[in-house]
A and B are shown apart, each in its own frame.
Chain A
Amino acid sequence: MAGTIQLEVVTPEKLVVSEEATIVMAPGAEGEFGVLPGHTPFLTSLTLGTLRYRDTAGTERCVFINGGFAEALPDRVTVLAQSAERRCDIDINRAKAALERAKKRLEHPEDASVEPDMDFERAKAALARAQARMSLAETRRNVAMQ
Chain B
Amino acid sequence: MASLKDVKAKISGVKKTRQITKAMNMVAASRLRGSQLAMESFRPYAEKFSEVLGSLAERAGGEAGPLIVPKEEVKKVCLVLCTSDRGLCGGFNSNAIHAAEDFVKQQKAKGVAVSLVCFGKKGRDWARKAKHPIVEARLGIMGTRIPFTTAAKSGQKLIDGFLKGEFDEVHVGYTRFVSMARQTPLMQQLLPIPPIEKKEEEYSAGEYLPEHICEPSAQELLEQLLPKSVFIMLFSALLETSTSEHAARMAAMDNATKACNDMLDELTLTYNKARQAAITKELMDIVGGAEALKG
- Chain A residues at the B interface, C-beta cutoff of 8 Å: 8, 10-15, 28-30, 40-45, 69, 71, 78, 80, 82
Contact = CB atoms under 8 A, between A and B. Distances in A.
B212 A80 contact: no
B49 A80 contact: yes
Nearest to B42: A12
B2 interface: no
Contacts of A13: 38, 41-42, 148
> Which residue among A11, A12, A30, A69 has the maximum number of chain B CB atoms within 10 Å of its CB?
A12
Contact of B213 (A10, A15, A43, A45): A43
Given A12-B235, A45-B221, A69-B225, A78 B48 contact: yes
A16 B111 CA distance: 48
Contacts of A8: 44, 48
A110 B45 CA distance: 39
Contacts of B45: 10-12, 15, 80
B52 A71 contact: yes
Closest 3 interchain pairs by CB?
A: A12-B148, A44-B215, A41-B212
A45 B225 CA distance: 9
Main secondary structure on A side of the interface with B: strand
Contact of B52 (A11, A14, A28, A43): A43
Contacts of A42: 212-215
Interface of B: 38, 41-42, 44-45, 48-49, 51-52, 55-56, 148, 209-216, 218, 221, 224-225, 232, 235
Given A11-B45, A40-B210, A43-B52, 18 more contacts: A8-B44, A11-B148, A12-B235, A13-B38, A15-B45, A40-B213, A41-B209, A41-B211, A42-B213, A43-B221, A45-B216, A45-B221, A69-B224, A69-B225, A71-B52, A78-B51, A80-B52, A82-B148
Contact of A43 (B48, B49, B212, B235): B212
B227 to A, nearest CB: 12
Contact of A41 (B42, B213, B225): B213
A40 B213 CA distance: 8
Given A8-B48, A40-B210, A69-B52, A14 B41 contact: yes
B52 A78 contact: yes
A69 B41 contact: no
B242 to A, nearest CB: 14
Contacts of B41: 13-15
Contacts of B225: 69
A69 B148 contact: no
Contacts of A15: 41, 44-45
Contacts of B38: 13
A69 B223 CA distance: 12
Nearest to A79: B48
A136 to B, nearest CB: 22
B218 to A, nearest CB: 8
Contacts of A28: 215
